[in-house]
Amino acid sequence: MAFVTRQFMRSMSSSSTASAKKIIVKHVTVIGGGLMGAGIAQVAAATGHTVVLVDQTEDILAKSKKGIEESLRKVAKKKFAENPKAGGEFVEKTLSSIVTSTDAASVVHSTDLVVEAIVENLKVKNELFKRLDKFAAEHTIFASNTSSLQITSIANATTRQDRFAGLHFFNPVPLMKLVEVIKTPMTSQKTFESLVDFSKALGKHPVSCKDTPGFIVNRLLVPYLMEAIRLYERVSDGDASKEDIDTAMKLGAGYPMGPFELLDYVGLDTTKFIIDGWHETDVKNPLYQPSPCLNKLVAENKSGKKTGEGFYKYK
């Protein structure tokens, strides 16, 4: 009896150890072929991962693939400056590691990691993950690239809250080294460590974040951008012009971009979406107060570089 008990305990211990092993991510499914999704797909493929990039139409995916190729050629030109042939091989090999699909449910059955980079809408994200949860393998980790929504609220749409976390990349993904890895109260240590290892495999520097509004970077950055807008709104009182504010922050604080240049680059609609969401959850917080100026520009479809005009005009 004692022998049987010892054998049972060894078996349980071995099983427990096996289940606690980290997932080595080799196959990645990226949902969303926009700027962020395409960037994530590119860096994953460039570092030896097999990637499926998913979006709603073949036209979107063709545009995404073209953008990835152009970005890769820029990388190759710099990385393989003295060996153009090797650069060309790098581009072709990376592109061959990316396949596309318009049917997410059909491609997640064998993937190790699903990274979602779609519209910042909780309902849409919940519907997506609820559906994919039925088709993905048991070991598959789900991650959202959201920059403003609570990860827990997205994870609750699935039955795998322990295998769900935030994986927040920064734009442009191929160049920006930081990745915020967001752990909810339900995220397992195994999942968290697997995503940290994956981020490092991409050549990124992961930092651990709690599931709080804005995580680390946006929690500090968005209020800074909003304060710059408020300062500009008081221009009639002689505070400062947007050009002077941008120049001051670049030359005085050493920032590569001024706040208005950055706002136009990120997208005014994106910033408005974030601050509106935060304001709803904490109405009295002065840092989260909406801006009439920002609201007006977004209403006029002046969201920055992507629309040709924001705080500045672009050709």
Q: Examine the domain organization and report whether 156 and 179 are in the same domain.
A: yes
Q: Examine the domain organization and report whether 203 and 244 are in the same domain.
A: no
Q: Examine the domain organization and report whether 148 and 35 are in the same domain.
A: yes
36 is in an annotated binding site: yes
The pLDDT value recorded for residue 255 is: 96
Contacts of 137 (CB under 8 A, 6+ apart): 108, 109, 110, 111
The pLDDT value recorded for residue 238 is: 59
Structural domain boundaries, residue 198: 27-210
267 is in an annotated binding site: no
Rounded to whole angstroms, the Cα distance separating 232 from 260 reads 10
Q: Examine the domain organization and report whether 176 and 299 are in the same domain.
A: no
* Residue 1 located in a structural domain: no
**Active-site hit among 147, 148, 194, 199:** 147
166 is in an annotated binding site: no
35 is in an annotated binding site: yes
Q: For 159-246, list the strands marked E by DSSP.
A: 164-169, 178-183, 205-210
Q: Examine the domain organization and report whether 76 and 144 are in the same domain.
A: yes
Rounded to whole angstroms, the Cα distance separating 287 from 228 reads 12
The pLDDT value recorded for residue 14 is: 37
The pLDDT value recorded for residue 21 is: 82
Rounded to whole angstroms, the Cα distance separating 252 from 240 reads 15
The pLDDT value recorded for residue 18 is: 38
The pLDDT value recorded for residue 16 is: 41
**Active-site hit among 64, 194, 199, 218:** 218
142 and 132 in contact (C-beta within 8 Å)? yes
64 and 33 in contact (C-beta within 8 Å)? yes
Whether residue 218 lies in the annotated active site: yes
Q: How sure is the predictor about 235, in pLDDT bands with cuts at 50, 70 and 90?
A: low
Query: Which helix H or strand E contains 114, and what residues bound it?
Result: strand 113-116
306 is in an annotated binding site: yes
Q: Examine the domain organization and report whether 56 and 101 are in the same domain.
A: yes
- Residues 64-75: tens digit of each pLDDT: 999 999 999 999
Per-residue pLDDT, averaged over 162-184, amounts to: 97
183 is in an annotated binding site: no
Contacts of 219 (CB under 8 A, 6+ apart): 212, 213
Q: Examine the domain organization and report whether 242 and 204 are in the same domain.
A: no
pLDDT at 15 over 90: no
Q: Examine the domain organization and report whether 162 and 62 are in the same domain.
A: yes
- Separation of CA 159 from chain center: 22
The more confidently predicted of residues 20 and 274 is 274
**Active-site hit among 64, 144, 145, 168:** 168
Per-residue pLDDT, averaged over 74-97, amounts to: 95
* Residue 16 located in a structural domain: no
Which CATH number belongs to the domain containing residue 47 in this structure?
A: 3.40.50.720
Both tokens of 156, joined, read: 């609750």
Q: What is the pTM of this model?
A: 0.87
120 is in an annotated binding site: yes
Domain count, the chain: 2
pLDDT at 10 over 80: no
Query: Which helix H or strand E contains 37, and what residues bound it?
Result: helix 35-46
Which CATH number belongs to the domain containing residue 296 in this structure?
A: 1.10.1040.10
46 and 22 in contact (C-beta within 8 Å)? no
Q: Examine the domain organization and report whether 233 and 194 are in the same domain.
A: no
Q: Examine the domain organization and report whether 183 and 232 are in the same domain.
A: no
pLDDT over 90 for what percent of the chain? 88
71 is in an annotated binding site: yes
* Residue 21 located in a structural domain: no
User: Of 189, 210, 231, at which residue does a domain stop?
Assistant: 210
**Active-site hit among 64, 97, 180, 194:** 180
pLDDT at 294 over 70: yes
* Residue 3 located in a structural domain: no
Q: Examine the domain organization and report whether 178 and 107 are in the same domain.
A: yes
- Residues 31-67: tens digit of each pLDDT: 999 999 999 999 999 999 999 999 999 999 999 999 9
Both tokens of 269, joined, read: 């609609």
Kind of pairing, strands 164-169 and 178-183?
Answer: antiparallel
* Residue 200 located in a structural domain: yes
Q: Examine the domain organization and report whether 180 and 36 are in the same domain.
A: yes
User: Of 175, 190, 210, at which residue does a domain stop?
Assistant: 210
55 is in an annotated binding site: yes
Rounded to whole angstroms, the Cα distance separating 89 from 106 reads 30
Whether residue 116 lies in the annotated active site: no
Contacts of 307 (CB under 8 A, 6+ apart): 301
